[in-house]
Structure formats: structure tokens, C-alpha cells
Structure 1
Amino acid sequence: MNEPTVIAILLCTYNGSAYLREQLDSFIAQTHERWVIYASDDGSTDETLDILRQYQQRLGDQLVILDGPRQGFARNFLSLIQNPAVKGDYFAFSDQDDIWLEDKLARSLAALRQHSLDGPALYCSRTDLVDAQGRHLGFSPYFHKPPSFENALVQSLAGANTMLINACTRQLLAATRPGAHIVAHDWLTYLVVSGYQGVIVYDAQPTLLYRQHHTNLIGCDSSLRSRLTRLTCALRGRFSEWNDMNLALMAMYKPSLPQRNRRILEQFEVARRSPLLKRLRLLGRTGVYRQTLAGNLSLLAAAVLNKL
């Protein structure tokens, strides 16, 4: 008889005492009961560690507390991915202030198990946006276009807090070189899995309540004002900086990528440093795209203004 599937929940904390109990309670309420929380704290000065220790007394071996590298949220998550003491069959990223729906792990696992998982695999979903008091605000955007490497090169698909990955994906991410600059671990995960033509399941049904509040490191504001702000940042060079970081990370994977995706990656790299007409021609050959019309227009504007 096969052993039950164990999911390692990778929880990164930093001064998250305000909402941490609700997050932890939502883990305990999961219908999939075989999980272990690995909580990496990045030097909290509030009651976060006290709360974790209280829950550790209750959960025992199901909650492991670790010291984070104190180099930002992305490096903290990567430290968990690279830690050999973190054990599991699958791995779920978690924020410190959300509320998981009770079937989050079960639904994520069932969705991936519908596919042959010989290589890397990723499940992700939309989110139900709530305010600091848990009141419904709306939903994260629904993306209609298929997940792909062409999309991943210019856009992250979903929040890490919705993601479940298999052991193969974990192994690939763990190979990231020490000291690497990471835009976001969700984007890196999407790039790596799509780059190796792995299984990607994007679920239109939310799996968690994603809390929007003033201390969020990354929010999900889809208002017109927020979109214009992001466009302005992109045209000022922020998008170009992100691409620099992502391409530097992908350099170590490039030799082992499937030939098709290796060619797309190389064309994208050449396009970014080419004169305007050649840049636009090569960009067209790559087939890169974003999920929305507004996103593709901003991508075109960045290309024209040499801000790729």
C-alpha cells in the first residue's frame, strides 16, 4: 500500500502576528491532513515567534520553526526550497496573512494527479481578495490564455500563495545559485516549469482568501490607477530590470532546456539588445505574450522604447 502523500507547507514569516493565527488555523482545517509546516522566520520583532511556538506545542512535529536568511521574502522562500531538512512529496508556498479554503491542498493535489508527472509540475489558481477584516473585495484577474514559456518570459501567472509544486520542480528551483537576485519566487517557478515544458494547471476557482492591507509586500490591485502605475514603472525601466534578473537566473537552466524553448530564450535575449526594427522582428518570432490586451500593449510600448 502506498504511503499517504505528505505536503510540505513553506511558510515565511516576518512581523506577521496580526493575521498569522487565522493562516495557521486554515492549515489545520485542511481536508488533506498529511502536511507539515516549515515556518522560516526572517527576524520578527513582534509576537510572530510566540504564536508559532504556541502552535508548535499543539501540532508537535507538524510544525518546524527555522531561522530565515533575512534577505527578503524571495530569498526566504528559496532558503526553504534549498533546505534538505524540508521533506515532502509536494510543496505549497504560503504567505503569513491569508486564509486557505479548506479544500486548497486536496484540490491542488487532485488537479496535478490527473496528469503524468514524470517532470516538473505546478498548480496555481486565482484568489478571492479580501480586506484587512476579511471582507470580500473581488477576485484576482482570470487569465484566458494558456500557460506557456512565451508567457512566463514577460509575466508571472499567479501568486505563490496559490502554488503547489512536485518534487521535480523543487529540485530544479533548489539549483538556483547562492546570492542570485530574484524578482519573485512565483515568477521563477513559472519560468522554470514552463521552460522545461512541465505540467501547469491554472485553476479559475480561487483556493484562498488573499488579504489586501497596507503592510502587504505584494498586493493584487487591478484598478485602472494601479495598472497605469505599473505601466509607468515598466516604461521607466523596472520591467527591464526584472528581465535582467530573470534571464540571469535562467542562464543556468538554458543548456538543459528543450531545444524549442532554448531558441525562444535566446531570441528574446538578442531582441532586448537589438536596434528597434530588429528588436520588434525578433520579439515577434519569440511569440511572447501577456494575458491581457492592456498587458500586451504595455509590452509593445516597452519594446518600442527599448525598455524590455
Structure 2
Amino acid sequence: MTSIPDGATGVYEAGSGGRVEVLLATRDSGQFLGELLDSLVCQSFRDFHLVVSDDCSRDNTLAILEEAAPRFAHPLRIIRRTAPSGSAAANFAGMLALAQADYVFLADHDDVWLPEKIARGLARMRALEAEEGRETPILLHGDLTPVDAALQVITPSFWAFKAIAPSYGARLNTALMHPTVTGCTVVMNRALVARTGIIPPGAVMHDWWINLVAAAFGRVAWDPDPQILYRIHGGNASNPQPTTLTRALSQWRNLANSRHWIRLRLAQGQAFLNTYRDELPAGSRRVLEAFADIPSAGPISRRRRLIAGGFRSPDLWRLRVALTNTFHSVVGGRHRS
């Protein structure tokens, strides 16, 4: 598995193949929604259909959507839920089950997209389809630029901020342990949407589940150049925190928390195996069966199986990255002095 093809930099032309949908989940989104919609209206590629699933908003979210609707090239579709979905993941899962497009983008209500976000994603996705075939499920995702509530840059790279290694999401054994995909960067081709189907309650998050589907059945690629201003404002569903040496050490030492997250990962892996068992390629099935069999072993044997299967702990990875970053910072400071 590799990152995006080097030559995939062309602009996706309107009418050159396929319906494009941007799926947006909202819930009491009035504070920042207008800026996201402005950024969508200003996309260089405008031949897309915006589909919104509103999760019983009680503020002015629907009024903002209705006011913005005439600015889009196609009629805005708003799904008004009559009962709360329970989570952003469930809201997105409901939209994905209804998606009709050849290419699907996911959007969060509090971000801002750069003008080439859609055009760039489509160009890269079509280049990947040219390599793999349109029948191959393909996931394209990317880095982001974290900003504060006022859109002031916090740090250039979300991957560096969170010590995320995108290559870990491209291999099924490491993808089972590492949530490397941020949902609002996701681009899916039709084959991936169809293969994903209905995301079950056993999924920890919709974007992680989509990552597993692509890693098990097709290809995962990534764009290292951020195309989204990712707003961190204290009310994010994922509540992102920077990976520092202190935080990494704390997480690594917190055995109860580590065991909790490993149990969640194992349960999600079992749910994934149960959902797709009869359809999985042989290699993917072997990986998932080995992963799902880990809870049946004793404590020492469980560790051995995690290591033997390449199911690497994200806490250890983040600790290594934090140590490396700290070392470079100290050495760099000495050289400057």
C-alpha cells in the first residue's frame, strides 16, 4: 500500500464521470456551519450534491441550511431525523447506507475546506481507480491543519499533532489497532460504498470501520497535503488532544485504559469478521480470525499473539514518536544555542 500517486495532480472535470456527493452530519451546528457552507460554495469543483442529515437540531442549523441552499449547483437534500441517532458515527452511517454517488466525501459541520479539496480528491481517486480498477474498493484520506475557534493555525499537521502514521491504516493488521483516518477527509469510490453497506453498532467509529473495509477488500491511500482547516474548539466529537511525551507516558502506564481500548479493538474486529466473513479475501480472513481469537488465550499468550500478528499497540507507537520528537527538539535547541 502506498500514498497517492505522484502524477495524480490534474483537475477533475465536471461531467467526466460520475455523481459526486458530500455527506454532512449536523446537530446544533449553528455556531460554525455557515463558514463550512461558504467553503463548500467556493470549491473549484461545484458539480456535487450536498446531502445533510440533521440530528434533531434545536438551534438555527436548519435555517442556515435553507438560506444557503440556493448557492449550490444542485438542490440541497436535507434528511430531518425524527429521533436522535445517538452519535455522529450513527448519523454518518445512516447517510452512507443511502448514498447513491460514484464518489462520496464526508464533511464535519465545524471545519473549513480549502478551494481545491474536492477537485484534488477526485483527481487522485480517479488516478487510483485507473491503477486498481473501478471495481476495487478504494479509500482516500488525508492530513488536516488544526486551527482554533477563530481559524488561527495551531500546528501545520494533525498527523504530527496526534502522532498518526497513515501507513498503519493501509495494512489490515495495524489498521485494526490504529485509528488513522479522520472522517472529514474521507473520499470513497462507489465500490467502497457498496462493500461497506450498513455499518453495524459494533463499529467504534464510522471512519475507522470504513478504513477496515478498504484495508480488507481493496486499497487505502492518503494525501499528506492538508485540504481542511480542522477546527478544535472544545466541543469536537473526538476531543483531539496533542500527543506529548507526558501524555504518551501517562497513556502507556494507564493499564486499565489500555486494556479498555484493546477490548474495544478486539470487539470491533470480531464484529467486522462476523459482518464480512463469507466475503473476505483469504489473507484478510486469516488476519481477522487471528485477531478475533486473541481473547480466548491466556494473558501471556494474548501478548504473544498481538506481537506475532503485527497488531501493534498505538500507545507504544505514540510513545516512540513522542520520545523521538522530544529528542529532536532538545538536540535542535542545543544546536541553535
Which residue of the other structure, out of 153, 178, 192, is the alignment partner of 1:136? 153
Deviation at 1:240, TM superposition (A): 1.1
Residue 209 of structure 1 aligns to a residue whose secondary structure is strand
> Is 1:235–2:274 an aligned residue pair?
no
> Is 1:123–2:140 an aligned residue pair?
yes
> Is 1:176–2:215 an aligned residue pair?
no
Alignment of 1:6-45 (within 5 A): 6-45=19-58
Superimposed CA distance per residue, residues 133-183 of structure 1 (whole angstroms, 9 cap, x where no aligned partner)? 000001212526452111111011120000100111111222435xx2431
Superimposed CA distance per residue, residues 217-245 of structure 1 (whole angstroms, 9 cap, x where no aligned partner)? 11332232554565536325133134313
C-alpha distance 271-124 of structure 1, shift in aligned 2 (>3 A): same
Superimposed CA distance per residue, residues 74-102 of structure 1 (whole angstroms, 9 cap, x where no aligned partner)? 1100110112xx43110011100000111
Alignment of 1:93-112 (within 5 A): 93-112=106-125
Which position in structure 2 is the counterpart of 1:156?
179
C-alpha distance 35-226 of structure 1, shift in aligned 2 (>3 A): farther
Which position in structure 2 is the counterpart of 1:252?
275
Q: Would you say the 8 A contact 2:105–2:186 is kept in 1? A: yes
Which position in structure 1 is the counterpart of 2:229?
209
Rounded Cα–Cα distance in structure 2 between residues aligned with 1:33 and 1:290: 41
Q: Would you say the 8 A contact 2:26–2:61 is kept in 1? A: yes
Alignment of 1:280-291 (within 5 A): 280-289=303-312
Instruction: State the one-letter code of the partner of 1:73.
Output: A
Which residue of the other structure, out of 187, 190, 203, is the alignment partner of 2:211? 190
Instruction: State the one-letter code of the partner of 2:122.
Output: L
Q: Would you say the 8 A contact 1:290–1:296 is kept in 2? A: no
Alignment of 1:68-83 (within 5 A): 68=81, 70=84, 71-83=86-98
Instruction: State the one-letter code of the partner of 2:33.
Output: L
Rounded Cα–Cα distance in structure 2 between residues aligned with 1:34 and 1:292: 42
Rounded Cα–Cα distance in structure 1 between residues aligned with 2:190 and 2:60: 33
C-alpha distance 2-107 of structure 1, shift in aligned 2 (>3 A): closer
Larger Rg: 2
Instruction: State the one-letter code of the partner of 1:154.
Output: M
- Bigger CA drift: 55-64 or 161-170? 55-64
Q: Would you say the 8 A contact 1:8–1:35 is kept in 2? A: yes
Rounded Cα–Cα distance in structure 2 between residues aligned with 1:248 and 1:296: 29
C-alpha distance 141-22 of structure 1, shift in aligned 2 (>3 A): same
Superimposed CA distance per residue, residues 98-148 of structure 1 (whole angstroms, 9 cap, x where no aligned partner)? 001111111111122222232100000011000000000012125264521
Percent of paired sites with the same residue: 26
Residue 229 of structure 2 aligns to a residue whose secondary structure is strand
Instruction: State the one-letter code of the partner of 2:22.
Output: I
C-alpha distance 228-19 of structure 1, shift in aligned 2 (>3 A): farther
Aligned residue pairs: how many?
293
Residue 49 of structure 2 aligns to a residue whose secondary structure is strand
Q: Would you say the 8 A contact 2:141–2:186 is kept in 1? A: yes
Q: Would you say the 8 A contact 1:127–1:206 is kept in 2? A: yes
> Is 1:67–2:88 an aligned residue pair?
no
Which position in structure 2 is the counterpart of 1:301?
none
Q: Would you say the 8 A contact 1:145–1:291 is kept in 2? A: no
C-alpha distance 59-141 of structure 1, shift in aligned 2 (>3 A): closer
Q: Would you say the 8 A contact 2:52–2:77 is kept in 1? A: yes
Rounded Cα–Cα distance in structure 1 between residues aligned with 2:304 and 2:43: 49
